[in-house]
Amino acid sequence: MHFDDLPRVTLAHLPTPLEPLASLQTTPTGPRVWVKRDDCTGLAFGGNKSRKLEYLLADAEQQGATAVITFGALQSNHARQTAAGCARRGLACALILRDAVGRRVDDYERNANLLYDDLFGATVHRVAADSTPEAVLKTVLAELAQAGHRPYVVPTGGSSAVGALGYARCALEIAAEFKARGLYPGTVIHATSTGGTQGGLVAGFRYAGLATRVLGINVYKADSAAIAADVKTLGQAVLDRLDPSLRLTDDDVEVVDGFLGDGYGQPTAAMVAALRRLASQEGLLFDPVYSGKALAGLLALLEADRLSDDVVFIHTGGAPALPVYASEFLTP
Ligand SMILES: Cc1ncc(COP(=O)(O)O)c(C=O)c1O
């Protein structure tokens, strides 16, 4: 099936800008680095979920849903963007948010994405760290049904085969942008967690006939093999919709370890240094949980001379939650 035949609602500002990161090219022959500004997708401060939500909310509407339920951590960017997309499309939105990070700072528990979720009119159901969202899901489904709603459940991070289509489309966008410049996107790097972004990209480049390497920097959990398995499953599910003759192998999935630190949402010294460097050298803001750790990965790979032309770093967003991590950057 062709992309344009797949149901999609318009939520994102596309194509996002593709900008050179001049300060990262340290020698005239060193790799050229570009930043794909998916922090500028427009929906609720932008971020990678806008692209996924274009397909997810279209699917929800096609199925006659009137409400969307999704999951995340307390400061989930996916939750914020889902809440905004639902507001735009006239859908009710219920967010089941787990205290997965355990950050005991007042702002973390009340401000930034939690404030925006509230402004977008979403109902937030908080789940303690030692509890599972599944039990709450049952209750929320029952409550919505009682209120006459038809709910559509979006998995954590919007990472279903439908959501991942958004990043296959992004791969085609990158392919077209490089073709127009007479260049080739050799390597794409980004933060990976629930796998939909990476799975979509891997599938999209394959569908476009490009041998672009996609390096997902693990910012999510110690078990990167589990992330790789999810990426492959989601990528293959996307290809099954677009061209079932195309098959992914384990070699198509590269999840890079070494930048997670003590765990999801826990700051690292390399993230702080990378974020400060790009802010002061390029005027760009990244976030401590996802794009900042991925950036630390990019800098380390450049430093180790592990990359060659042309490198695309996808800025997947997240900076709206940067202020709840202020204490990591400012001395009291
Ligand atoms: C800012 C940001 N970057 C990257 C990701 C990772 O995307 P994925 O869940 O598709 O792996 C997320 C997921 O929530 C995110 O919020």
- Looking at residue 213, its pLDDT comes to 98
**Domain 49-158 CATH assignment equals 3.40.50.1100:** yes
- Looking at residue 142, its pLDDT comes to 96
The CA distance from 89 to 11, in Å, is 9
Average pLDDT, the chain: 96
Q: For 265-309, write each residue's pLDDT tens digit.
A: 999 999 999 999 999 999 999 999 999 999 999 999 999 999 988
Average pLDDT over every residue of 28-44: 95
Strand pairing of 67-73 and 254-256?
A: unpaired
Regarding the beta carbon of 81 and ligand 1, being less than 6 Å apart is answered no
> Of 248, 212, 266, 322, nearest to 100 (Cα)?
266
- Looking at residue 29, its pLDDT comes to 83
Do residues 282 and 91 touch, judged by C-beta distance below 8 A? no
Nearest CA to ligand 1 atom 9: 194
> Of 114, 132, 131, nearest to 122 (Cα)?
114
C-alpha to C-alpha distances, 225 to 13, 62, 82, 98, 300, nearest whole angstrom: 33, 34, 28, 23, 21
Q: Which atom of ligand 1 is nearest to the CA of 216?
A: 11
Q: For 81-102, write each residue's pLDDT tens digit.
A: 999 999 999 999 999 999 989 8
Regarding the beta carbon of 157 and ligand 1, being less than 6 Å apart is answered yes
Regarding the beta carbon of 77 and ligand 1, being less than 6 Å apart is answered yes
Distance 116 CA to ligand 1 centre (A): 18
Percentage of the chain exceeding pLDDT 70: 100
Label residues 310-324 b or e (16+ Cβ within 10 Å = b).
Answer: bbbbbbbbbbbbbeb
Domain map of the chain by residue range? 3-48+160-328, 49-158
Q: For 170-224, write each residue's pLDDT tens digit.
A: 999 999 999 999 999 999 999 999 999 999 999 999 999 999 999 999 999 999 9
- Looking at residue 97, its pLDDT comes to 97
Q: List active site positions.
A: 76
Distance of CA 207 to the CA centre of its chain: 21
Regarding the beta carbon of 156 and ligand 1, being less than 6 Å apart is answered no
- Looking at residue 319, its pLDDT comes to 98
Do residues 191 and 296 touch, judged by C-beta distance below 8 A? no
- Looking at residue 113, its pLDDT comes to 97
The CA distance from 33 to 234, in Å, is 27
CATH fold for domain 3-48+160-328: Rossmann fold (3.40.50)
Q: For 97-139, write each residue's pLDDT tens digit.
A: 999 898 888 888 889 999 999 999 999 999 998 888 888 999 9
Do residues 178 and 184 touch, judged by C-beta distance below 8 A? yes
Q: Which two tokens stand for residue 324?
A: 């709840």
Distance 158 CA to ligand 1 centre (A): 9
Q: Whole-structure pTM over 0.95, yes or no?
A: yes
Q: Which atom of ligand 1 is nearest to the CA of 195?
A: 11
Strands across the sheet containing 33-36: 18-20, 33-36, 311-314, 187-192, 213-218, 254-256
Regarding the beta carbon of 191 and ligand 1, being less than 6 Å apart is answered yes
pLDDT at 42 over 90: yes
Regarding the beta carbon of 212 and ligand 1, being less than 6 Å apart is answered no
Distance 132 CA to ligand 1 centre (A): 20
Q: Which atom of ligand 1 is nearest to the CA of 200?
A: 10
